[in-house]
Amino acid sequence: MKRTTWILILMLFTSGLAIAQTKTWTFQQCLDTALQRNISVNQTRMSNELNKIGLEQSKAARYPSVSASANGGLSIGKNVNPTTNAFVTESYYSSNFGVSGNYNLFNGMQTANTIRQERINVNAGQFDIEKAKNDVTLNITTGYLQVLFAYEILSAAKSQEAATEAQVDRTDKMVTAGKSPESDLLQIKSQLATDNLSVINAENQLALAKVTLMQLMEIPISDNFDVVVPAMEENAKALMQTNEDIYQKSLSVLPQIASAKLKTSASEMGLKVSEGAQWPRLSLGANTNSNYASSRKKGTNVNPEGYPFYQQLWDNIGQSFSLGLSIPIYSNRQIKSSIEMAKINVITTKLNEQNTRNVLRKSVEQTYTDLRAAVKKYEATKQQLAAVESVYQNAEKKYTVGVMSATDFLIQKNNFTQSQSSLIQSKYDYIFKSKILDFYQGKAIQF
């Protein structure tokens, strides 16, 4: 019995430790995990691996191609001996072996231009990976700030709940002493129930924000997940520059701009590859072969001797060399169509590049304008909260001494609560937009 009791105690202690082991994540840890697990980032990496394989393949086209062949067969009846080109009527085995090579001397610079094009694609792919990482960074930043925002809302809700609980105690004593009507106590208790609900709603919002962040990190949902709550700095240095300054800076640092430029260069190189098909092609070929036939004999017809396999192969070795010239005359419009499609592709990539610039410019302008508005709203909200808090504190004193009704007091209390919530919202809106503008300038997001 004692042993069973100790086992139960040990199990309860162990489970308590497991529950208590809540892992607290910093922003950088959240970001690193997301970058490692994010499917879009990994898909972009694999896409660029294909670009690298294409580059290696295009490089290999500069070297000669070599192939070997081997054939064997049984001939029955009247046939030509492949080693002597004479007719024989007996059945025999024959074999043929060869090694051939071909080297492209000139193909309109298609090989060289293809290598350049594939190299540009690889470089563009690297920037695409960085662009995918940036997208993940912005998503994690949003999710992380949502969790911090939910924490502050919950903290404010709990603070109001505690203040209301204190007012319930005071009001209850005043009602007992006959200094306040019972209706005041009922109103305060009703407000406490409302504050309790606000706390529950805030806790639910915090839990949802954590779930969203964990999903962005591509990790399983856990009740033991928590984040580090850093000291939030208010920084509006971005507004010390013009939106044009920020845009010009972003053009030089953001990967999507570099990727779009390189893709335009790759399409222009692709046009050169297509145009190279109009040129004549010059190639060099070489071949070495040998054969064997079991019907072949040495010596004379009167006194024939056997002709061993390896000796026949050695004696029958032959080489040949060739120089080939191919001039395109008419290819069923394939070359012309290829060139026309390559020209359209160049125009398309240039339009895509310009569109990427336009999208970035609009994003910078919008975020810059939003930040200016957010700063103004944040400063105005701070002033509003300071004024409302003074009114609320004064109302609280009046209500405590019984010179203000519960109804009027609760109106001031709710105004103060709403002002607190507005300040928290404007604060995080301001912080988020300032982080985004810094990010557009190539500055790492940190908390």
Residues 144-160 pLDDT 10s: 999 999 999 999 999 99
Residue 185 lies in a domain: yes
Looking at the 3D structure of the chain, how many domains does it have? 1
Q: Are strands 92-106 and 281-293 parallel, antiparallel or unpaired?
A: antiparallel
Which range of residues forms the domain containing residue 371? Answer: 21-62+107-279+328-440
Residue 83 lies in a domain: no
What pTM was computed for the model? 0.83
Structure tokens at 151: 């924490």
The amino acid occupying position 397 is K
> Can you tell me the distance from the alpha carbon of 252 to that of 254, in angstroms, rounded to the nearest whole number?
6
Number of H helices, E strands in the chain: 10, 10
CATH number at residue 175: 1.20.1600.10
Residue 28 lies in a domain: yes
Residue 122 lies in a domain: yes
Instruction: Give all strands (DSSP E) within 328-445, no chain letters.
Output: none
* pLDDT tens digit sequence for 340-385: 999 999 999 999 999 999 999 999 999 999 999 999 999 999 999 9
Q: Looking at residue 1, what is its pLDDT? A: 44
* pLDDT tens digit sequence for 111-157: 999 999 999 999 999 999 999 999 999 999 999 999 999 999 999 99
Helix, strand or coil for residue 438? Answer: helix
* Residues 6 or more apart whose Cβ sits within 8 Å of residue 133: 35, 41
> Can you tell me the distance from the alpha carbon of 109 to that of 291, in angstroms, rounded to the nearest whole number?
39
Write out the DSSP string of 244-313.
HHHHHHHHHH-HHHHHHHHHHHHHHHHHHHHHHTTS-EEEEEEEEEEEEETT--EE-SSSEE---HHHHH
Q: What angle do CA 25, 27, 32 make, to 5 degrees?
A: 90
Q: Looking at residue 235, what is its pLDDT? A: 62
Residue 49 lies in a domain: yes
C-alpha distances in Å from residue 276, one per residue of 262, 335, 338: 21, 9, 11
Percent of the chain at pLDDT > 70 equals 91
Residue 260 lies in a domain: yes
Residue 291 lies in a domain: no
Q: In terms of C-beta distances under 8 Å and separation of at least 24 residues, what long-range contacts does 417-423 make, across chains too?
A: 417/156, 417/160, 417/198, 419/381, 419/384, 419/385, 419/388, 419/389, 420/156, 420/160, 420/385, 421/153, 421/156, 422/381, 422/384, 422/385, 423/378, 423/381, 423/382, 423/384, 423/385
Residue 90 lies in a domain: no
| Interval 185-211 mean pLDDT | 93
Mean pLDDT of the chain: 87
| Interval 285-313 mean pLDDT | 78
Q: Looking at residue 82, what is its pLDDT? A: 73
